[in-house]
Amino acid sequence: MNPTFQLFPEAASSTASHLDHLTIYLLIVATTFTVLIFAAVFYFAIKYRRREDHERPVEIEGALPLEILWSVIPFVLMMVMFSWGASVFFEMSRPPDDAMNVYIVGKQWMWKAQHLEGQREINELHVPLGHPVRLTMTSEDVIHSFYMPAFRVKFDVLPGRYTTAWFNPTKPGKYHLFCAEYCGTLHSGMIGWIYVMEPAEYERWLAGGAGGESLAGSGEKLFQFLACANCHRTDKQGRCPNLQGVFGSSVQLTTNQKVTADEAYIRESILNPGAKIVAGYQNIMPSFQGLVTEEELLQLIEYIKSLSNRSQGPSAPGAQPPAASGKQPQQQNR
C-alpha cells in the first residue's frame, strides 16, 4: 500500500487484525445505513410530495411485517457488534499468563521503560518477536497515554495508579510510540520507538545492555535500606505481615474483606498503609508517600513478587520474562 496514504496503520500485533476487522464492520454498517436513510429521505420526499393544495394523505393503520423487519435487522446487526466487540475487548484486556512484564513510567515529557532484568530505556522499548508483552504503566505527574498504533495499543497512563495493556508483536521492525493525551508544552515531543527483535537478537540485547542488577535485586536493597525488614520479618515474629508468598494471594483485612495482593494493593500499602490493614495487625506502618519514587515502588513490588516466586514456585501469578539464558519462559497457572 502507498505509505503516504494508509487507511489503517501497519498491523504488527496479534490483535491488530481483529480490531481492524471489527472497525471495518462498524464502518460498513454505519455507511450502508447512512446511505440508505438519506436515499429514503429523498425518495419519499419526492414520491409523497404534496401535488395539490387540497390533497389529503390516506390514513395508514400500520404495517406489522415492516415494523418487525426494521426491528429485527438492526437488532441482529447490533448484537453482532456487541458480541464481536466484547470478544475483542476481552482479548485485549486479558494478557496471556506467559506474558513478560515491562514497567512503563511516563513523565513530562518522556517514557521510561524498565525491564525486570534491570535494563532501563528512555523513549525506546525493545521487545522480542512473537512473545506477549504486558505493560504495567503509571505516571509521575499528569495523565499521559501510551500509544503504539502498529500494535493497536492505546492506554491512559495515570498518576497514582497502575494500568496494564499487552500486545504480541508479530513483525520485526521499528514502530512509533506516541503520547496520545495532551500533557503540556512538549506533549508532541513525547514520542519514541518500539523495536521488535528476533528472540535471539533480543537475548543479546538484553545481555549486552546489562543494567547490572535485576529490578527485584534493586528492590531487595531498597527494602533493606528503608529498614522494611525490621518489621516485615520472614520469621513471622515481626509486627507487620510476613511478605513471603503474599503477592497474588488473597489477603484478609481487619474489615473482614478480602483483597488480592496485586501491584495496586502493594503500591497502596506502601504509600497509604492505613487504607487496608491486614487482619491481626495494627495500623503502625508509616506512609512512604514522597519518600520513594515511582521507579523505586516498581522495584519494591518486583522484590515482593520475587518472594512469592521463591516460596511458591511457578504457581505464583505475575509473569516471568524470557530468561537471559535463552530458556523459554515457564507457562504459569493462575
Query: Nearer to ligand CUA by C-beta: 184 or 326?
Result: 184
If one asks whether residue 182 binds ligand CUA (CB under 6 A), the answer comes out as: yes
Four-residue CA torsion sign, 26, 32, 35, 39: negative
Given candidates 126, 144, 152, 267, which one binds ligand CUA under the rule CB under 6 A?
Answer: 144
CB of 153 to ligand CUA, least distance (A): 15
Q: How many residues bind ligand CUA (CB under 6 A)?
A: 9
If one asks whether residue 105 binds ligand CUA (CB under 6 A), the answer comes out as: no
Stretch that binds ligand CUA, among 83-91, 180-188, 201-209, 220-228 (CB under 6 A): 180-188
Given candidates 181, 220, 294, 302, which one binds ligand CUA under the rule CB under 6 A?
Answer: 181
If one asks whether residue 179 binds ligand CUA (CB under 6 A), the answer comes out as: yes
CB of 138 to ligand CUA, least distance (A): 13
DSSP 73-114: HHHHHHHHHHHHHHHHHHHHHS--TTPEEEEEEEETTEEEEE
In angstroms, rounded to a whole number, what is the distance separating the alpha carbons of residues 290 and 301? 16
Describe the crossing of helices 64-93 and 16-47 by its angle, rounded to 10 degrees.
Answer: 160
Sort 12 into a burial class: Cβ within 10 Å, 0-12 / 13-18 / 19+. Answer: buried
If one asks whether residue 11 binds ligand CUA (CB under 6 A), the answer comes out as: no
If one asks whether residue 190 binds ligand CUA (CB under 6 A), the answer comes out as: yes
**CA-closest candidate to residue 160, choices 297, 278, 286, 277:** 297
Classify residue 58 by its DSSP letter: P
If one asks whether residue 187 binds ligand CUA (CB under 6 A), the answer comes out as: yes
Distance of CA 118 to the CA centre of its chain: 21
CB of 89 to ligand CUA, least distance (A): 24
If one asks whether residue 127 binds ligand CUA (CB under 6 A), the answer comes out as: no
Task: Write the CB contacts of 7 (distance below 8 Å, at least 6 apart in sequence).
Answer: none
The residues of the shown chain that bind ligand CUA, judged by CB under 6 A, are 106, 109, 144, 179, 181-183, 187, 190
